[in-house]
Amino acid sequence: MDIKELEKQANEVRKRIIEQVYSAQSGHPGGALSIADILTVLYFKELNIDEKNPKMENRDRVVLSKGHACAALYACLAMRGYFEEDKLQGFRKINQMLQGHPDMKKILGVDMTTGSLGQGLSCANGMAIAGKLDKKDYRVYCILGDGEIEEGQIWEAAMTSNKYKLDNLCVIVDNNNLQIDGTIDEVMSSKPIDEKFKSFGFQIIKIDGHNIEEIIKAFEVAKNVKDKPTCIIAKTIKGKGVSFMENKAVWHGKAPNEEEYIKAIKELEVK
């Protein structure tokens, strides 16, 4: 896909995020919308994956550490062909496959079960170390929230990433500046994010997380970094694409009512 096609695809991902959360009347639309462009580039351009062979040994891996944003991941997996799109209507419903956090035992295409914040980078390290030991050339992508990196385990894991020179690991920080209780500055500031990861031995790349061209270039640069892990700090907008959700902490974990749902879909349909 070219940039224009990827932009359209990201908008389709956003529609499916809203549809899932509205159908369930439960979920986390804000942080799912903010990573829609990043996941779109990964799943429709960057990743070496095969939906017809989801357990392919040398596939690239994705760890959505901020697992509550799984509506975005599910949308990408369905659109890529890992499962039927009508299963999206079962989001967060009892006895359905697509629960409120990703489950690698139930969903093809999910590489790691996540949800307990702070643990994803440790898991991604393990995958990257295994790749090195097995002499495989797959890459591991780990998506963190900027609120999530307040967790101490993230920084223990960051030391491990550096110690083992995991140049097959790419961390992406969804820097939308909001978490459930307000701004990251108000709750527990993790700034300066770039200097912190740099001090832990990471190559730093800073981008606009909604600019498809910048996202593509960042992944290309990351693939050429040697002997150290990469951290892409993606400046994003919580609730991106839906005007009344943008930059509003309340939409971290709130479902739209019928009127809000109709308005959101109408806005996304004209993009």
Q: Taking the complete model, does pTM exceed 0.85, yes or no?
A: yes
Backbone phi, then psi, for 182, in 5-degree steps? 135, -150
Q: Which residue has the tokens 């994803």?
A: 120
Condensed to tens digits (0 to 9), the pLDDT of residues 128-143 reads 999 999 999 999 999 9
The residue range of the domain holding 253 is 3-269
pLDDT of residue 271: 74
Report the relative pairing of strands 182-183 and 178-179 from DSSP bridges: antiparallel
Q: CA-to-CA distance for 47 and 9, rounded, in angstroms?
A: 16
* Number of folded domains that form the chain: 1
Condensed to tens digits (0 to 9), the pLDDT of residues 140-153 reads 999 999 999 999 99
pLDDT of residue 270: 80
Condensed to tens digits (0 to 9), the pLDDT of residues 2-49 reads 999 999 999 999 999 999 999 999 999 999 999 999 999 999 999 999
Contact 29, 255 (CB under 8 A): yes
Contact 189, 195 (CB under 8 A): no
Domain with 239 in it: what CATH number?
3.40.50.970
